[in-house]
Amino acid sequence: MKTIAFFNNKGGVGKTSLVYHLAWMLADLGVSVVAADLDPQANLTAMFLDEDRLEDLWPDSAHPGTLLGVIQPILKGTGDIAQPHVEDVADNIGLIVGDLGLSGFEDKLSDAWPRCHDGDEAAFRVISAFFRAIVKSADQRESELVLIDVGPNLGAVNRAAMIAARHVVIPLAPDLFSLQGLRNLGPTLRRWRSDWAARLEKNPDPDLLLPGADMQPVGYVVMQHAVRLDRPVRAYERWMRRIPGVYRQSVLDEPSSASPSVAQDPYCLDTLKHYRSLMPLAMEARKPMFSLRPADGAIGAHMQAVVSCFEDFERLAKTIANRCGVALP
């Protein structure tokens, strides 16, 4: 099983939409995918499911069908994780349903993190709850790939989510805020990885399923850049020029001198255009942008954009699968 987290502590870069579309594209390519919504905002869940189904999964009290229900015994101090429910979205897509109540797990995770240093088994069970829920979900679906969506912050929930991931893809917008977020994100990821490695040595139960301390960045995706005559507009060009150097320095802890352009950077997985005209149609039709049809309103220039969108996401999905060792049928 491969786990890939999509993470940037700068919000608004199109991260959740990226995970949603990649899940559909990889499923279309024949990969069995589980999409894990570990963001307390639960936006990925809202993209996959309609409001009637969400109302069933988010009742007034207990939420047995969501990730919150899985960790509820730990939150209450009554036991370990419960058997997860995986929502059947399509033949090749299962969803670990997100929940706004996940934010309530933050304090529990913060408290458990230092106690792992003391060899506290209960603390290890808390920190690894997301990972073990993901493994159980993937086994349930017989899926070889889990895509993890996380919120835009550097808190304890995201730390536990990132520890559960083997690979990390960083979506970026070509602007100052994304670059600043990257400068914060890179050192934090490295610190989380090394801190978890130190804690793993204190694990008192060799039979407890724990994630390794081998989380690795795969690369970055430049999201929603404006294009004019197939070239980024001038307002974004200076930020795009800086991305390869900042990525090397902040994420990889490498020298940033003589960095290549984004187009020539092997760490750039792809650059995606902003399909502004397609997203409203896709939201109305409740399907990915590249699956829109004339019956959904995609006619004329819209249909040309759908074809281009399909090609972009197919290329990106194949690149990410190749970098992460995911075999395509």
Q: What does the pLDDT look like over 59-91, one tens digit per residue?
A: 766 788 999 999 999 999 999 999 999 999 999
The pLDDT of residue 11 is 73
CA atoms of 31 and 144, how far apart (whole Å): 7
Calpha distance 285→55 (Å, rounded): 19
Please classify residue 278 by burial: count the beta carbons closer than 10 Å to its beta carbon, then call 0-12 exposed, 13-18 middle and 19+ buried. buried
Residue 266 to residue 179: CA distance in whole angstroms = 18
Q: What is the pLDDT of residue 229?
A: 47
- Cα gap 90→153, rounded to integer Å: 30
Angle, CA of 325, 326 and 329, to the nearest 5°:
135
The string of pLDDT tens digits covering residues 188-218 is 999 999 999 999 999 999 999 999 999 999 9
- Is residue 328 within 8 A of residue 321, CB to CB? The reply is yes
Write the CA distances from 2 to 27, 61, 199, integer angstroms: 15, 33, 22
| 306 pLDDT above the threshold of 90 | yes
**pTM here?**
0.94
Reported CATH class of domain 2-274: alpha beta
**Annotated domain spans of the chain:** 2-274, 282-323
Q: What average pLDDT does the segment 209-238 reach?
A: 79
The pLDDT of residue 277 is 83
Element (H, E) at 214: none
Judged against a pLDDT cut of 70, whether residue 148 lies above it is answered with yes
